[in-house]
Amino acid sequence: MNEESHVLEKPPEGASADWTIPQDWAAYSAQEHATWDILFERQAKQLPGRASEAFLAGVDVLKLSKPGIPDFEELSERLMKLTGWQVVAVPGLVPDAVFFDHLANRRFVAGNFIRKREQLDYLQEPDVFHDVFGHVPMLANPVFGDYMEAYGRGGLRALEYDSLDHLARLYWYTVEFGLIEEAGDLRIYGSGIVSSHGESVFALDDPSPNRIAFDMKRVMRTNYRIDDFQQVYFVIPSFEELLRVTVETDFAPLYGELENASDFGPADIAEGDILLTRGTQAYACERAAA
Ligand code: PHE
Ligand code: FE
């Protein structure tokens, strides 16, 4: 996630100029490794038939079922051979330009801390389970790996146009909370969904959220909520198509257009939307009333 605010201005003590720190794998306690194992087991059971085949293949080929928090060096070695990506540790959130520069160079930045036992189901800051289990399997997919690199370069460009808010929505509704159509079925691939025990069922099965065919401009006009399950998911037809449309479109004129366009709320339905599911929004209404 790259949209939070409490970011430091320069690398903290002990971090390199590019903000990376050693993962310090040897420092994890047995309890912390066991927390990973609990989270991994729950999702490993739940995701077959729900997660995209690309995600499941990534979990497999990266050997994430090996017990304990993965060692980033070992993980990077496997990933490097497959798609040229690496995983590097950072101390929490980093400035946008730093985040994008790492992506553009095929380095995925991951937090090295793991959530506490009382936070198995929800935490606001991305921990090593979200970052590694949620994001890294998709980086073993060549097409998605290319998309992430292109996004990094696009991010650096968006900074120049002062249009990061619009671009960040693309990240949110694809990388973090994307759905894909596979063999006539909906599957999840967004890291925020696959790493969440609750949302990996909700996103596919609950009648509450809208599920809308992906449209790049529409997505960039749509606000999102960071505090609860999503009220809308956008569905891509394939990773190839996502990569093609985002790479082939020059965003510079788009940013100008979007400047003057109104935003959509997370539950809005827009003219031209192809609705795969019209949601009841019952879940969101209940939560708002509580
Ligand atoms: N084509 C985008 C641009 O012109 C860059 C980009 C590619 C952004 C892929 C996101 C994903 O800025
Ligand atoms: Fe994330």
Does residue 103 belong to any structural domain of this protein?
yes
Judge whether residue 77 has pLDDT over 70: yes
**137-173 pLDDT, tens per residue?**
999 999 999 999 999 999 999 999 999 999 999 999 9
Does residue 69 belong to any structural domain of this protein?
yes
Domain containing 59 equals 25-289
Does residue 4 belong to any structural domain of this protein?
no
Q: Is the ipTM reported for this complex over the cut 0.90?
A: yes
> How far, in Å, from the CA of 213 to the mean position of ligand 1?
19
Portion of the chain with pLDDT greater than 90, in percent? 92
Residue 122: predicted pLDDT: 80
Judge whether residue 1 has pLDDT over 80: no
Residue 209: predicted pLDDT: 98
Residue 93: predicted pLDDT: 84
For residues 52-68, give the mean pLDDT. Answer: 98
Does residue 230 belong to any structural domain of this protein?
yes
Closest ligand to Cα 193? 2
Closest ligand to Cα 255? 1
Judge whether residue 2 has pLDDT over 50: no
Q: How many domains does the chain have?
A: 1
With cut-offs at 50, 70 and 90, classify the pLDDT of residue 90.
Answer: very high
Residue 4: predicted pLDDT: 46
With cut-offs at 50, 70 and 90, classify the pLDDT of residue 6.
Answer: low
Separation CA 126–CA 1 (nearest Å) = 7
Closest residue by Cα to atom 5, ligand 1, is: 154
Does residue 6 belong to any structural domain of this protein?
no
Does residue 102 belong to any structural domain of this protein?
yes
Closest CA to 175 of 76, 39, 55: 55
Does residue 19 belong to any structural domain of this protein?
no
For residues 232-245, give the mean pLDDT. Answer: 98
Taking each helix axis as running N to C, give the angle between helix 164-171 and helix 142-160, from 0 to 180 degrees, rounded to the nearest 10: 160
**Cα 139 to chain center, whole Å?**
11
Residue 104: predicted pLDDT: 98
Domain with 279 in it: what CATH number? Answer: 1.10.800.10
Determine the 3-state secondary structure of 118 from DSSP.
Answer: helix
Q: Which of 164, 175, 251, 254 to mutate to test the pocket of ligand 1 (most atoms within 8 A of CB)?
A: 251
**11-56 pLDDT, tens per residue?**
988 899 999 999 999 999 999 999 999 999 999 999 999 999 999 9
Phi, psi at residue 184, to the nearest 5°?
Answer: 80, 5
Residue 8: predicted pLDDT: 77
Q: Which long-range contacts (CB under 8 A, 24 or more apart) does 199-207 make?
A: 199/229, 199/230, 200/43, 200/46, 200/47, 200/50, 200/51, 201/46, 201/50, 202/229, 202/283, 203/177, 203/179, 203/229, 203/230, 203/233, 204/50, 204/179, 206/283, 207/277, 207/279, 207/280, 207/282
